[in-house]
Amino acid sequence: MSGCIFCAIIAKDAPSWTVYEDEHAIAFMDINPATDGHVLVVPRRHVKDLWEIGERDAGQVMEASVRVAAMIKRALEPDGMNILHATGAVAFQTVFHFHLHLVPRTRGDSIKLPWIPRPGEPSRIAAVAERITATG
């Protein structure tokens, strides 16, 4: 899609440090890394977000992500890893071409959980679960 930086990277019209490519997905270094080895995995097809991607493309991106996560593990030997995704500006999405962030983690690094875990009210959890289940 014209104007999309990730489509430009996929087309090799914009520079990137690409670390993995297959028929359906490509992975390149994030230029604002949260930690060393922060990689973005994206579908070649331009889709905006989790609500647009569809199960088949999402599966292909996840397969590529598992492969790239193994590559990062072999290369950098992190203690752990987060997969992060943002759908919508409200959820911190800034590039509107679907992507998964692979963020290698090291014990004692500065990354924090973005919410404070607190027990929910069981009746509220159950009511919301019922609303979600009803749409399935």
What is the contact surface with ligand AMP in residues (CB under 6 A)? Answer: 5, 14, 16, 28, 30-32, 40, 86, 92-95
**What CA–CA distances, in Å, run from 103 to 30, 33, 35?**
10, 8, 6
Q: Which does 94 bind (CB under 5 to 8 A by kind): ligand AMP, Zn ion, none?
A: ligand AMP
Cβ proximity of 53 and 47 under 8 Å: yes
According to DSSP, the residues that pair with 104 across neighbouring strands are: 81
Q: Find the binding residues for Zn ion in span 24-53 (CB under 5 A).
A: 46
Return d(Cα 73, Cα 38) in angstroms, integer.
12
Binding status of residue 99 toward Zn ion by CB under 5 A: no
Q: Which of 7, 71 has the CB closer to ligand AMP?
A: 7
| Contact positions vs Zn ion (CB under 5 A) | 1, 4, 6-7, 46, 97
